[in-house]
Structure 1
Amino acid sequence: MHQLGEQLSVQVTGGPTALIDYGGLRFLTDPTFDEPGHYGRPDGKPGLTKTAPASVTPADLGRIDAVLLSHDEHPDNLDHSGRKLLTDVPLTLTTPSGAGRLGGTAKGLENWETVELDRPGGGVVTVTASPALHGPEGSEKVTGDVVGFVLTGQGLPTVYVSGDNASLDVVRQVADRFGPVDTAVLFAGAPRLKPVFDGALLVLDSALAAEATRILGARTVVPVHIDSWGHFTEGRDDLVAAFTEAGLADRLRLG
Structure 2
Amino acid sequence: MTTRRQMLAMSASAIVGSAVSASAQGNDVSSESRSKITQIRNATLRIDYGGVRFLVDPMLADRHSFPGFPGTANSEQHNPMVHLPLPIADIVDVDAVIVTHLHEDHWDQAARDALPKDLPVFAQNDADAEVIRGQGFTDVRVLSENSEFDGVRLIKTAGRHGTQAHYEVMAELLGDVCGVVFNHPEEKTIYLAGDTIWNENVDAVLSAHAPEIAILNAGYAMVQGIDGGIIMGTEDVLRVHQAAPEARLIASHMEAINHCVLTRAELRAFAAEEGFSDKLLTPGDGETYTI
| TM-score bucket (shorter structure) | 0.7 to 0.9
Q: Quick one: structure 1 residues 116 and 166, their matched pair in 2 at CA, closer, same or farther if it must change by over 3 Å?
A: same
Unaligned residue ranges in structure 1 (runs of 5+)? 119-123
**Two-structure CA RMSD over aligned residues (Å):** 2.4
User: Secondary structure, in 3 states, of the residue corresponding to 1:77?
Assistant: coil
In structure 2, the partner of 1:66 is: 96
In structure 2, the partner of 1:91 is: 120
Higher relative contact order (CA 8 A, sep 6+): 2
In structure 1, the partner of 2:172 is: 141
- The answer on 1:75 being equivalent to 2:133 is no
- The answer on 1:246 being equivalent to 2:277 is no
Q: Is the 8 A contact 2:92 2:115 kept in 1?
A: no
Q: Which moves more between the two structures, 76-85 or 149-158?
A: 76-85
Taking the TM superposition and a 5 Å limit, the aligned residue runs for 1:164-175 are 164-175=195-206
Aligned mates of 2:173, 2:92 — CA distance in 1: 36
In structure 2, the partner of 1:117 is: 149
Q: Quick one: structure 1 residues 45 and 238, their matched pair in 2 at CA, closer, same or farther if it must change by over 3 Å?
A: closer
Matched residue count: 243
Aligned mates of 1:184, 1:89 — CA distance in 2: 30
Aligned mates of 2:160, 2:85 — CA distance in 1: 28
Unaligned residue ranges in structure 2 (runs of 5+)? 1-16, 284-291
**For residue 38 of structure 2, what is the amino acid of its counterpart?**
Q
Q: Is the 8 A contact 2:92 2:114 kept in 1?
A: no
Which digits, 9 at most, give the CA deviation of each residue in 1:3-61, with x for residues without a partner?
566421111111111111111111111111211226359xx766673211121132123
Q: Is the 8 A contact 1:33 1:53 kept in 2?
A: no
Q: Quick one: structure 1 residues 218 and 61, their matched pair in 2 at CA, closer, same or farther if it must change by over 3 Å?
A: farther
**For residue 281 of structure 2, what is the amino acid of its counterpart?**
R
Aligned mates of 1:130, 1:156 — CA distance in 2: 19
Aligned mates of 1:250, 1:89 — CA distance in 2: 41
User: Secondary structure, in 3 states, of the residue corresponding to 1:37?
Assistant: coil
Normalised by the length of structure 1, the TM-score is: 0.86
**For residue 187 of structure 1, what is the amino acid of its counterpart?**
N
- The answer on 1:23 being equivalent to 2:50 is yes
Which digits, 9 at most, give the CA deviation of each residue in 1:155-186, with x for residues without a partner?
2110000110113322111012101x111111
In structure 1, the partner of 2:187 is: 156
State the identity %.
Answer: 22
Aligned mates of 2:220, 2:236 — CA distance in 1: 9
Aligned mates of 1:114, 1:21 — CA distance in 2: 20
Q: Is the 8 A contact 1:184 1:213 kept in 2?
A: no
Aligned mates of 2:89, 2:83 — CA distance in 1: 15
In structure 2, the partner of 1:52 is: 82
2:233 aligned to 202, 205, 209, which one? 205
User: Secondary structure, in 3 states, of the residue corresponding to 1:39?
Assistant: coil
In structure 1, the partner of 2:222 is: 192
Structure label with greater radius of gyration: 2
**For residue 26 of structure 1, what is the amino acid of its counterpart?**
R
Aligned mates of 1:129, 1:142 — CA distance in 2: 21
Normalised by the length of structure 2, the TM-score is: 0.76
Q: Is the 8 A contact 2:160 2:199 kept in 1?
A: no
Aligned mates of 1:26, 1:89 — CA distance in 2: 16
In structure 1, the partner of 2:5 is: none
